[in-house]
A and B are shown apart, each in its own frame.
Chain A
Amino acid sequence: MKRGILVALLTVALVGTLSYTARLPAAPQQLSFFVIAHTGPGDPFWAVVNKGVNDAGKVLGVKAVFQGPASRDIPAQVNMARAAISARAAGIAISVSDPPAIGQVIRDARGKGIPVVAINVQEPADYKGEPIPYMAYIGMNEYEAGKNVARYLLPKIPQGAKVLISMHEPGHVGLEARARGIREVLTAERGAKVETLDTTQDPTKSLSTMRAFLKANPDTKALFTLGPLGAIPAIKMIREDKLAGKIVMASFDMDATTIQAIKEGLVEATVDQQQYLQGFISVVQLYLHAKYKLAPTDYNTGRGLVTKETAATVESLVKQGYR
């Protein structure tokens, strides 16, 4: 019993202190900006965003922090965003990885007067929920990019061909949009039979899943991966199983493995969404808004494709972590 009273007293004391300090004005000595993604810098793609964020912070002389869970984890991302709100961020950039969940956080942040921009993944065009009040989107249009890369490969894909899309994060709005763009172009232009496989983020599982599919469907003509986590095992497979020439492959995003494979002719092209800009520009825009009330504007980071011709020039930049 006495112990219960003691615990109760401690709790009351804690809450009391907290309510007292809650009234103290928060005085952040320095502007701090948070960029919060659904995956962290362990993914080579996000490592580049991380660098963009850090560089922007250095250039501007502000605190800019990139945060993301070890592997795709929406609740963890939401929790990080809530902590950023509690830390009285001067601005938050966040990937709209799950519109209802992230939408809520963005509304709460805006409700507390914190400016928010979306990066990397935006609210889907057909989203039926309450509109999400981010101020601008800094990233690429996934659906258009999917159509774009599929069109680039059309000359190498025969009529009625079988095509495999490796989906390493099922349910990811952006990846699904990329896949949809690819699928639409190929079925409309070539009447292709497009299969989408959950290849997971685990390279070993990914490899064996794709191999099993190709064993069952040896007439597959093209392979699309939707990011490095899908591309790395796919390139390994094409190299080991000597599939170059039999299967044309294209991917999304930049990493050393994919670029090397493009140089060797194992991969036709990859979409460069220049994610460094997503980190760098979002911090810059949030900074300019905090400082001069300049409204953030949409910024399309998605550019053309990296092909055999351009691969060498970007390769060194990939190694430095900018592309």
Chain B
Amino acid sequence: MRDVGDKAISGGAEAKAVKMLPAAPPERWRRLLAIRELGVLIALIALIVIFTFLQPAFLTLDTFGDILTQAAELGVAAVGVTFLMIAGEFDLSVGSTFAFAGVLLALLVTRFSVSPFLAVPAALLFAGVIGLLNGLITLATRIPSFITTLGTMMMWRGLALAITGGWPISILTASTLLDVLGGRAVYSTLRISALWLLIVTAVFWALLGKTAYGNWVFATGGKREAARALGVPVNRVKLINFSVAGVLAGTAGFLQFGRMSSMSPVWGDALALEAIAAAVIGGTSLMGGSGTIVGTILGAITMASIRVGLVMVGAPSYWYTAFLGVVIVLAVILNVKLEETFAWRR
């Protein structure tokens, strides 16, 4: 047996010894420019500069606490949505899960006098089951989750309205539960809900970037067949992420309940789209397979900044929506351009 091929190959391998990199920006700059959150960071800083110029009181700790507190509910829900979007699925029902779980908790502790130690885990579990059901229906029927969760969105919203008769449920006396969920101010305008946001961010940032499971989530959304061929249990990953989206939507509902002392079955009707917007501003792909938790949180903070900033500069109502639309489009363009230019590392 002659080893013609081998000879040819070893020759080839030697010929292309270590090739030097083409001239490129210094490594440090390259890394800075390649961070996925760059687009949203630029957008956020630009907004802060603009609003501060128009209203000097914007650049204060008070305002910052306000923004972080306002971003908390949206941010927590958006982390769940991002997690699911990276795995290649959507959940349009998070707003309804938010309302249903919040109302459920409120009912348990008020009308049924259940201990918060029992009521909170029970309502969270229920939120997780809502998410799991979304996943099971989607995987079993192979209907896009955009459609299945559109259905469950209406269903859970209707059920939330039905079990409350459309009325908000309020806690009128001082309540440790409400304080812990987000009612109490930690420092100035900063409320406990903002701390929950930081905790959720840290946990899911680590889960996504620093564990094997996170790797599976990216692979499931990026290329399902490849992930499956390498032994990643893609369906289980999706089910888990649907459940996570449910649990975090429920958590966001709890935070809102804590902050408002009230929970209404009609609240959170724009939450799903706002959460997707926060994710997209933060660089998460609508196609699945890429995104970051920090980007999403910055997206939520950007949206809260717009809300707070426009009120503070005294802009007429309704500018928020229009302005937000502009920011979404600009941020996405920025993200895409930066990705094209510096897409080489995660």
Q: Which residues of A contact B (CB under 8 A)?
A: 2-3, 6-7, 10, 15, 17-19, 21-22, 24, 26-28, 32, 34, 40-42, 50, 63, 65-70, 72-76, 78-80, 82-88, 98-101, 103-104, 127-130, 170-171, 198
Q: For window 41-60 of chain B, which residues contact chain A by CB distance below 8 Å? A: 41, 55-60
Residues of B within 8 A of A28 (CB): 57
A177 to chain B, nearest CB (A): 13
Asked whether, in the complex, the Cβ of A10 is within 8 Å of the Cβ of B41, the reply is yes
7 extra interchain contacts, Cβ-Cβ under 8 A, other than A26-B60, A83-B312? Answer: A2-B28, A18-B61, A74-B267, A80-B307, A86-B312, A170-B165, A171-B166
Residues of A within 8 A of B166 (CB): 170-171, 198
Residues of B within 8 A of A24 (CB): 56, 60
B76 to chain A, nearest CB (A): 14
Q: Nearest CB to that of A87 among chain B residues?
A: B312
Judge whether B66 is part of the interface by a CB distance below 8 angstroms. Answer: yes
Q: Contacts A42-B318, A86-B189, A198-B166 given; indicate if A67 touches B311 (C-beta within 8 A).
A: yes
Judge whether B63 is part of the interface by a CB distance below 8 angstroms. Answer: yes
Residues of A within 8 A of B77 (CB): none
B132 to chain A, nearest CB (A): 27
User: How far apart sit A98 and B315, CA to CA, in the bound complex (Å)?
Assistant: 24
Residues of A within 8 A of B167 (CB): 170-171
Asked whether, in the complex, the Cβ of A100 is within 8 Å of the Cβ of B264, the reply is no
Asked whether, in the complex, the Cβ of B172 is within 8 Å of the Cβ of A129, the reply is yes
B: contact size bracket: 35 or more
**CB within 8 A of B31: which of A3, A67, A79?**
A3
Residues of B within 8 A of A99 (CB): 170
Q: Lowest 3 CB-CB distances: which A-B pairs, in order?
A: A170-B166, A129-B172, A83-B311
Judge whether B155 is part of the interface by a CB distance below 8 angstroms. Answer: no
Residues of B within 8 A of A76 (CB): 307
User: How far apart sit A79 and B35, CA to CA, in the bound complex (Å)?
Assistant: 31
Q: For window 144-174 of chain B, which residues contact chain A by CB distance below 8 Å? A: 161, 165-168, 170-173
**CB within 8 A of B62: which of A6, A86, A127?**
A86
Residues of B within 8 A of A32 (CB): 314
**A/B interface sample: 20 pairs, CB < 8 A:** A2-B28, A7-B37, A18-B59, A22-B61, A22-B62, A27-B56, A41-B318, A50-B317, A66-B316, A75-B260, A79-B304, A79-B308, A80-B307, A82-B308, A83-B63, A86-B57, A100-B172, A104-B260, A129-B173, A170-B166
Asked whether, in the complex, the Cβ of B32 is within 8 Å of the Cβ of A6, the reply is yes
* Most interface-central of B58, B59, B168, B172 (chain A CB within 10 A): B168
**CB within 8 A of A101: which of B37, B260, B307?**
B260
User: How far apart sit A100 and B189, CA to CA, in the bound complex (Å)?
Assistant: 18
User: How far apart sit A101 and B58, CA to CA, in the bound complex (Å)?
Assistant: 24
* Most interface-central of A34, A66, A80 (chain B CB within 10 A): A80
Asked whether, in the complex, the Cβ of B60 is within 8 Å of the Cβ of A21, the reply is yes
Q: Nearest CB to that of A173 among chain B residues?
A: B168
Asked whether, in the complex, the Cβ of B318 is within 8 Å of the Cβ of A15, the reply is no
Judge whether B241 is part of the interface by a CB distance below 8 angstroms. Answer: no
Judge whether B119 is part of the interface by a CB distance below 8 angstroms. Answer: no
Judge whether B70 is part of the interface by a CB distance below 8 angstroms. Answer: yes
B113 to chain A, nearest CB (A): 16
A186 to chain B, nearest CB (A): 21
Judge whether B256 is part of the interface by a CB distance below 8 angstroms. Answer: yes
Q: Nearest CB to that of B308 among chain A residues?
A: A83
Q: Contacts A101-B261, A104-B261 given; indicate if A65 touches B60 (C-beta within 8 A).
A: no
Judge whether B86 is part of the interface by a CB distance below 8 angstroms. Answer: no
